[in-house]
Chains A and B, each alone.
Chain A
């Protein structure tokens, strides 16, 4: 399973590195969203700082949707999804590989966006441990849930418009919990943030488990 996961993740990341869709489209899109929010709220700098964590995770969520969609678009070109089925790779391994590749892209995006909120919003980082754990748990949760719903939508003609409708409500708890945990960390009140971090890890565990179990059968039906 882990060998198959590494094979699929390596393939997906190599495709992204070669196509440069992430660097040339997803990252600029994410930065544009941050800038648009900055324009909208700039009259009140304090509001921008206070809303920073929420705006950060909304931007990650929207940009993450692009990465998730992209992860399945590359499998629909030239019937590559049939090749993935025919490969004989373990379904759980394929899930972990695809989710891992999406998570790696999200982590890179979050690093860029962190610099963005520092520069554009004037946010000062505090509570690095909580921030780091929040990012880790939220990224795993986003990638795992997105990959599960990505394969559900993959075989449908309306997948491009259906995926956001399916995924956004499911990921709302991640958005809420990650924003609250980051707010608590930045405010220097970590005690208020740890329950949200725990919630993020529970969410991530549930969707990773579900994906490992269900991705193979879902791939067969896609």
Chain B
């Protein structure tokens, strides 16, 4: 199957600090990959680097067929990034923000209207400046912006944060739908139960490297993949039955 993301010994520096210290990773088109790891493991940098916002200084890095070491700008129009920040202009309305996001990515105004409708933003919120919205509502607008861009690669950093239960369910539905439609999703989250149920595969990061991976979702013992230095993620409920974890290489 074709790779949406292919990294080999990929290094990304933040100043002189190697935030990614030799990452090997393959993500197939249509996959939903959960990236787990402790704070500072390199999850956010990995997502930003795949979006072309952080540079790779060594190794190989290919995203959606583009060599990011040669040109990290070419891929950006095909990326939808949901980060810790919402990337919204406070003085613009919900509609204006989504329209700008869609048109800047080369998508149509209809896709912005469609995204608004799907996130339930086409009612009274449509003409409200985003600076006046609650954190959860802003998060919804940010998700709508990803949809409006018609992105081929969704990079979601803690996507459930700030959303209410309905919003989380809606996000999960949209992610599954996007993957079914051929988009690839990389998801970094500390909400293990929900995110692992959504993902088709999980990898664990520690110290700027992918230290291990799990195949499909299900009752797997993620604690078996604890990072060196005790920085591994929390165990999931399914680990208590003693079933062995289904480990797999992070390189498909």
Contact = CB atoms under 8 A, between A and B. Distances in A.
Interface string B59-100: 000000000000001001101010101111111110010001
B124 to A, nearest CB: 18
Interface stretch (A37-45, A72-80, A109-117, A201-209): A72-80
A79 B92 contact: no
B89 A87 contact: no
A87 B104 contact: yes
Describe B's contact surface by its main secondary structure: loop
A74 B83 CA distance: 18
Mostly, the A contact residues are: helix
A88 B71 CA distance: 12
B85 A88 contact: no
B76 A7 contact: no
B51 A86 contact: yes
A88 B105 contact: yes
Nearest to B87: A83
Contacts of B162: none
B89 A88 contact: no
A95 to B, nearest CB: 15
Given A15-B91, A19-B91, A74-B91, A85 B76 contact: yes
A80 B88 contact: yes
B85 A18 contact: no
Contacts of B73: 88, 220
B103 interface: yes
B53 A88 contact: no
Interface of A: 4, 7, 11, 14-15, 18-19, 74, 77-80, 82-83, 85-89, 220
27 contacts: A4-B104, A7-B100, A7-B104, A11-B89, A11-B92, A11-B96, A11-B100, A14-B96, A18-B93, A19-B91, A77-B89, A77-B90, A78-B87, A78-B89, A80-B88, A80-B89, A82-B81, A85-B52, A85-B76, A86-B53, A86-B87, A87-B101, A87-B105, A88-B77, A88-B105, A88-B106, A89-B104
